Amino acid sequence: MKNPVLLLIIGILTLASCGKSGHQAHEESANAGSDPNQALYEEVMAVHDEVMPKSGQIYQLKKDLQDKITKSASLSDDRKKEIEQTIAELDSADHAMMDWMHKFQPTADSTNQEAAREYLENEMERIKKVKDLIEMSLQKAKEELEKK
């Protein structure tokens, strides 16, 4: 890797932006009393925690695809466009995760439990869509790298 320091910085910033304040606040309030929505909250976070580490793969695959365009003088314009589209899909998946994390704001236990449950159910659907987007873009990028 040409720039391991850059990758390390991106990794640290990504982890720091994982919605720690909302996640931490919800955990602290859940520990203070019983929360009927705690299991659903943990399921949402489990999906997030499964997919979030893949941001490093996204970064590396984007770099590899960009290198493929740069180093392959014999690529047709159509192939370059296909690779650029795949890079754009990786960017979109990464942005979807960042957007989800920044907007995720679980409510405190003292609020309306029914509204909190509805919010968490909606967030579960949103994070599952992000997961699907990330997994599909990673798979497509890997396939694109295998093509000549």
Long-range CB pairs of 1-8, under 8 A, 24+ apart, other chains included = 7/56, 7/59, 7/60
Q: Are 132 and 51 in contact (CB under 8 A)?
A: no
Task: Report pLDDT for 111.
Answer: 67
Q: What is the pLDDT of residues 67-121, one digit of tens each?
A: 999 988 888 889 999 999 999 999 999 999 999 999 999 876 666 888 889 999 9
Separation between Cα atoms, residue 72 and residue 82, nearest integer Å: 14
At residue 18, does pLDDT exceed 70?
no
Backbone angles phi, psi at 72, to 5 degrees: -110, 90
More confident position, 30 or 36 = 36
More confident position, 130 or 75 = 130
Separation between Cα atoms, residue 88 and residue 140, nearest integer Å: 11
Q: Find where tokens 């497509």 sit.
A: 140
Mean pLDDT in the chain? 82
- Which residue type is seen at 71? K
Task: Report pLDDT for 103.
Answer: 95
Task: Report pLDDT for 74.
Answer: 85
Task: Report pLDDT for 30.
Answer: 46
Separation between Cα atoms, residue 67 and residue 145, nearest integer Å: 10
Q: Are 66 and 87 in contact (CB under 8 A)?
A: yes
Task: Report pLDDT for 113.
Answer: 86
